[in-house]
Amino acid sequence: MPRSREPILWALFSAGGMLSALVFPALAFVLWVAMPLGLVEPLAWQDMIGLVRHPLTRLFLFALVTLSLFHWAHRFRYTLYDGLQLYHLNQLIAVVTYGAAVVLSSVAGYVLLVVL
């Protein structure tokens, strides 16, 4: 019997969900609520770019984006498969959703390595 890839996909799903649930609300609060209200002093543009150019920050941002994309792909796949009962398109849906996550993760890696 061939080995299943499902445990790896479920691990990416759970890691992406956990990271998204813990980090995105805090990041959104700091960037979009605390800074405009003056609760946190905003960083200068040069300081922000310096922070994003740090290798650990790039690694963290890449992990955040990649795991969130795989979380979306897994959730969307099973929404289409179970929710809309598109059982006959299971293989196509898996290829499209996980393929989109891989392509968009590659774009994120390119942006973090080359553009910034």
The model's pLDDT over 48-98, given as tens digits with 9 standing for 90+, comes to 888 889 999 999 999 999 999 989 998 898 888 888 787 788 889 889 999
Which secondary-structure segment (H or E) carries 101?
helix 90-110
What's the pLDDT score for residue 86?
79
Write the burial class of residue 16 (CB in 10 Å: 0-12 exposed, 13-18 middle, 19+ buried).
Answer: buried
Structure confidence by residue, pLDDT tens digits, 20-38: 889 889 989 988 999 899 9
CA distance 60 to 38: 26
pLDDT at residue 111, rounded to an integer: 92
What is the pLDDT at residue 2? 74
pLDDT given at position 15 = 85
DSSP secondary-structure letter at 5?
Answer: S
Q: What is the C-alpha separation between 31 and 68, in angstroms, rounded? A: 19
